[in-house]
């Protein structure tokens, strides 16, 4: 992680993880459904390993997987977040029958 862009993205994600994430009241849908790291942690790790440009495709695939996890959780009584970049999109599902 040598580029200024990678350092900036890493800083922004770290700030989100420290400041906003603990206060938002839900977890990453992918982590809720499958375990493992949240989307922000996965993207941060990818940026550290591959740089910003090298992380674009893996990050997009991760956000798609998070969206699919949210759909998987939809019939259940759960709440969480599907991430879009650094912007969390909250969801709350009470089952499809309601």
Q: Which residues are within 8 A (CB) of 45 and not within 5 positions of it... i.e. 6 or more apart? A: 37
- The pLDDT score that the predictor gives to residue 98 is 42
pTM strictly above 0.85: no
**Helical pair 39-73 and 4-15, crossing angle rounded to 10 deg:** 60
For residue 38, what are the domain limits? Answer: 4-94
| Residue carrying structure tokens 């890493």 | 10
Q: How many residues does the chain have?
A: 98
- 71-91 pLDDT, tens digit per residue, is 887 776 655 666 655 556 665
Task: Give me the torsion for CA of 16, 20, 21, 24, rounded to 10°.
Answer: -150
Q: Picking from 3-7, 44-48, 78-82, which range would have the lowest pLDDT averaged per residue?
A: 78-82
pLDDT confidence of 20, banded at 50, 70, 90?
confident
Domain count, the chain: 1
In a 13 Å sphere around the CA of 23, the CA atoms on its Cβ side amount to 5
Q: Name residue 83's beta-bridge partners.
A: 88
């Amino acid at each position: 992680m040598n580029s200024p862009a990678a350092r900036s993205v890493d800083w922004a994600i770290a700030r989100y993880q420290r400041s906003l994430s603990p206060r938002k009241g839900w977890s990453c849908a992918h982590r809720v459904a499958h375990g493992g790291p949240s989307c922000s942690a996965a993207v941060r790790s990818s940026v550290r390993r591959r740089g910003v440009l090298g992380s674009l495709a893996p990050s997009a695939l991760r956000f798609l997987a998070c969206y699919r996890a949210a759909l998987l959780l939809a019939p259940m009584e759960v709440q969480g977040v599907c991430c879009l970049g650094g912007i969390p999109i909250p969801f709350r599902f009470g089952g499809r029958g309601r």
